[in-house]
Amino acid sequence: MRGMLTRKTTGEEMPDRLTALDSQFLYMERPTAHMHVGGVSIVDPSTKPDGALLFDDFKAHVLRRMHLVPRFRQKIAFLPFNVGRPMWTDEERFDIDFHMRRASIPSPGGHKELADFVQRVHSRPLDRTKPLWEIYFIEGLEGGQIAIYSKTHHALIDGISGMDIASVLFDFTPAARDVEPEEWTPEKEPTTLELLRHWAVDSVTHPIEAMAHQASGAIGAPKAVLGHVESVQRSDRSQPPFQLHRCSGRGREGR
């Protein structure tokens, strides 16, 4: 899965830099033009042997597999004056409870109530001081069903597909894969001076690559972003309609 593996930032090794395209997703973002994507899955707990799906169990399941998606525990570090592309750094204060949230809609909720909730949550920007993703465990649907809404920034997932992430974190058969959790120790967050030093060393040791990145960032990336947005819009028009209604203001949202 390209883009998901990350190098350690121990010693003199460079933190991972965002690509020119991924950087543009951040630079082009505005309060009324967000650059995150979302997806909703409906699950039926009655298909489980015990007939139940609990939020704490779901959260523990995702946390056990978090090491398979390293970017989910990393955040963006911007260089002063944007002299270079942003870098990925470990989130030393990573809190799974901030990213995985339990919510409910008025029961028994249908598509309208679920759409109202998703529209309201999707309209908020992701917090750039933390890893750029959120997952909501939504209860209250008719028939005892559960909705899983995921919200992820383009800068994190571009170059891979949301399905790739889903295939790592979740199982698509009743028999769950046996994935051993790994202990995670975050690397110390680099200071601004350390980030600038890494950028300067990289620019000197790889000058041609650095110039190519700057050129692609200044010229090619915005066109690529616009082309990407247009392709998403065309894809959306080809999908069956799922109307988002005006927010009802009801329901209980995760913190």
- For residues 168 and 1, is the Cβ–Cβ distance under 8 A? yes
- CA pair distance 33, 126, nearest whole angstrom: 12
H helices present in the chain, as ranges? 20-27, 55-64, 96-99, 111-122, 154-157, 162-169, 192-205, 207-215, 221-238
User: How would you class 89 by CB atoms within 10 Å of its CB: exposed for 0-12, middle for 13-18, buried for 19 or more?
Assistant: buried
- CA pair distance 118, 10, nearest whole angstrom: 39
Is residue 154 flagged as an active site residue? yes
User: How would you class 129 by CB atoms within 10 Å of its CB: exposed for 0-12, middle for 13-18, buried for 19 or more?
Assistant: exposed
Q: Which of 36, 99, 153, 154 is catalytic?
A: 154
DSSP string, 51-82: S---HHHHHHHHHHTGGGSGGGGEEEEPPGGG
- CA pair distance 106, 252, nearest whole angstrom: 8
The sign of the CA dihedral 47, 51, 56, 60 is: negative
- Tell me the two tokens of residue 101: 């949230």
- Tell me the two tokens of residue 244: 């988002």
Q: Is 189 helix (H, G, I), strand (E, B) or coil?
A: coil
Which residue numbers are catalytic? 154
